[in-house]
């Protein structure tokens, strides 16, 4: 199910009146437009499964609804994502920026990349402080004034047989966390890598002027016109369409047979 003409027009109407500002750090930029996530999935063949009039948005992935995404404005965990077999589960607070969530969901569309570094290598390269604990758990903290804290912890056990990722944005001087991510179970590595790529990125995100819902974010005029912002959104959808086609093509190709071992030659 591609993004329809009406959906594209609705998105354009909402953004033509906004003056684009570069907003940083990105983890304090506010939720942004959830269609940054949902339009990408629709472009890749996901379908809307929620009933008309339901304030929740439910999307199911292709291949017999192998994955499901729920966007629920009434739930504490506004975004919920899981595969049909419930082998893993991911939840994101409402204040998690859509660009960070898309780091995770975009990788549901694309194939894993063999050249991907691991998530901890990405955090270390970005200057995060990483602590390796004796029990095998880890914690990483970003160098920001309002830091991001990432933890890999066990679920109900003393080992990491069932790991969970716990990620939160914290205020500068203590107090309640700003937002929270929880991912548990056998989540594929490339999904976590995609998420961490967005977490460690220092590139600003685009928001409308004063459209941040956060006191810690800084805004500067972007120099972009609203039309350029719209063009970038739709160009992103086209790029994801090409990636999804590559994924489908790779899945349809027959796997090469293993090469036979060379016969031994008896000496004469």
Six token digits for residue 202 = 């220092």
- DSSP label at residue 249: H
Side-chain-side CA neighbours of 229 within 13 Å: the count stands at 24
State the Cα–Cα distance between residues 182 and 236, nearest whole angstrom. 27
3-class SS of residue 141: strand
**For position 268, what pLDDT does the model report?**
46
Residue 257: predicted pLDDT: 59
pLDDT in tens, the chain (268 residues): 688 999 999 999 999 999 999 999 999 999 999 999 999 999 999 999 999 899 999 999 987 568 999 999 998 889 999 998 899 999 999 999 999 999 999 999 877 777 888 999 999 999 999 998 887 789 999 998 889 999 988 765 555 566 799 999 988 777 889 999 999 998 999 999 999 999 999 999 999 988 877 668 899 999 999 999 999 999 999 988 887 777 666 666 675 655 555 554 454 4
Q: Is 36 in contact with 102 (CB distance < 8 Å)?
A: yes
The answer to whether 28 and 169 have CB atoms below 8 angstroms apart is: yes
Give the three-state DSSP class for 140.
Answer: strand
């Amino acid at each position: 199910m591609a993004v329809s003409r009406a959906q594209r027009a609705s998105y354009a109407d909402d953004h033509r009146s906004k003056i684009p500002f570069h907003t940083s750090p990105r983890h304090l930029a506010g939720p942004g437009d959830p269609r940054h996530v949902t339009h990408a999935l629709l472009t890749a063949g996901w379908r809307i499964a929620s009933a008309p009039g339901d304030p929740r948005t439910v999307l199911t992935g292709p291949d017999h609804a192998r994955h499901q995404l729920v966007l629920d404005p009434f739930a504490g965990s506004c975004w919920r994502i899981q595969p049909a077999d419930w082998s893993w589960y991911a939840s994101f607070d409402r204040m998690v920026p859509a660009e960070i969530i898309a780091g995770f969901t975009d990788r549901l569309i694309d194939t894993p990349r063999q050249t991907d570094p691991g998530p901890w290598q990405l955090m270390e390269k970005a200057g995060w402080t990483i602590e390796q604990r004796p029990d095998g758990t880890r914690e990483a903290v970003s160098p920001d004034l309002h830091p991001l804290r990432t933890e890999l912890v066990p679920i109900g056990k003393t080992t990491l047989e069932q790991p969970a990722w716990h990620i939160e944005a914290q205020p500068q001087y203590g107090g309640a966390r700003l937002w929270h991510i929880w991912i548990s179970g056998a989540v594929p590595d490339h999904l976590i890598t995609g998420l961490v790529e967005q977490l460690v990125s220092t590139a600003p995100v685009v928001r409308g002027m004063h459209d941040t819902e956060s006191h810690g974010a800084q805004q500067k005029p972007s120099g972009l016109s609203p039309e350029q912002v719209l063009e970038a959104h739709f160009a992103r959808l086209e790029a994801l369409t090409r990636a999804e086609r590559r994924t489908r093509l790779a899945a349809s190709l027959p796997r090469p047979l293993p090469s036979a071992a060379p016969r031994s030659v008896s000496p004469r």
